[in-house]
Amino acid sequence: MTLQSGARIAVLGTGLMGAPMARRLIGTGFDVVVWNRSREKAEPLAADGATVATTARDAVAGARVVITMLTNGEAVTDVLFGPEGVAASLDPEALVIDMSSIPPDVARDHAVRLERLGVRHLDAPVSGGTRGAAAGELAIMAGGPEDAFTEAVPVFAAMGRATRVGPSGAGQLAKLANQVIVGVTIGAVAEALLLAAAGGADPAAVRDAIRGGFAESRILEEHGRRMIERDFIPGGKVRTHIKDLDTALAAAADSGVTLPLTQNARDRFAFVRDAMGGGGYDHTALLLQLEEAATGGGRIGTGPDRLPE
């Protein structure tokens, strides 16, 4: 059975991603209840038509679907199963969709624990950033039972394009694959544009010239533009990307796989966070580490850096 417009959806976590995702659900006609640990992040959604709940348990009361969009696996575990957790308050017909980025083994554990309560679970992390969330153009990678995925299709359609990639935990593995590609490609685009600038070419013109060829990508399009404009206001934060790459490296080690390019990118992101105080910068700021390491003093663009306050 698929969900119809007007069904109640609880969104737990209304930060940079959760808030625009909730707005997309409201705009599609769902009855949306929102909750955030810091209430001031949820209250603006009342003007869009959401009901703002005082507690997470209040938010899930009567909800057919519960979406979690939280910082990490520990936060999701606490909201579901902690002292004030919602698991015991869920409707037996409810479907929990965790759209956070967490370790695959944690997602599988959540699915098992909820199944014992008769509640279904999908892990469905996303890619596309705040812009994709606002436009309803997220890439959604779902793991879990096929019937649960089929029921959730109208919910996913409000937020982007969903693909079921396998059983519980598979969505998180797909997100890790995504983050590996994004992290390494940000580094490749930064190196390429830095090479062009250091050699005397116009990096903006070089970016335009190679668009449409084999180097074309969303990273070249969006993050390449950010590098040239020196816009490091997040989007996707450096500290968040490090968390995801650490999870990917741990999963790879468990599977007997080595990811040397991922490790290199992770360590350079860590330099931005630790040595440059840039944990809250957009992950495009990997460029800053490469510029720091350039012995010839290379720099992309002529304008000042736009940094978060």
pLDDT band (50, 70, 90) for residue 6: confident
Burial bucket for residue 54 (CB in 10 Å: 0-12, 13-18, 19+): exposed
Q: What is the pLDDT of residue 2?
A: 57
pLDDT band (50, 70, 90) for residue 174: very high
Q: Tell me which residues are annotated as active site.
A: 175
Closest to 34 (Cα-Cα) out of 77, 73, 66, 78 = 66
Q: What is the pLDDT of residues 181-212, one digit of tens each?
A: 999 999 999 999 999 999 999 999 999 999 99
Q: What is the pLDDT of residue 301?
A: 85
Q: Which CATH superfamily is domain 8-167 in?
A: NAD(P)-binding Rossmann-like Domain (3.40.50.720)
Return the CATH class of domain 173-293: mainly alpha
Contacts of 195 (CB under 8 A, 6+ apart): none
Q: How far apart are CA 24 and CA 16, in angstroms?
A: 14
Q: How far apart are CA 209 and CA 196, in angstroms?
A: 12
Return residue ranges of the chain for CATH 1.10.1040.10: 173-293
Q: Is the pLDDT of residue 157 over 90?
A: yes
Query: Cβ(26)–Cβ(48) under 8 Å?
Result: yes
Q: Per the structure block, which two tokens stand in for 14?
A: 């209304």
> pTM of this prediction?
0.89
Q: Is the pLDDT of residue 127 over 70?
A: yes
Return residue ranges of the chain for CATH 3.40.50.720: 8-167
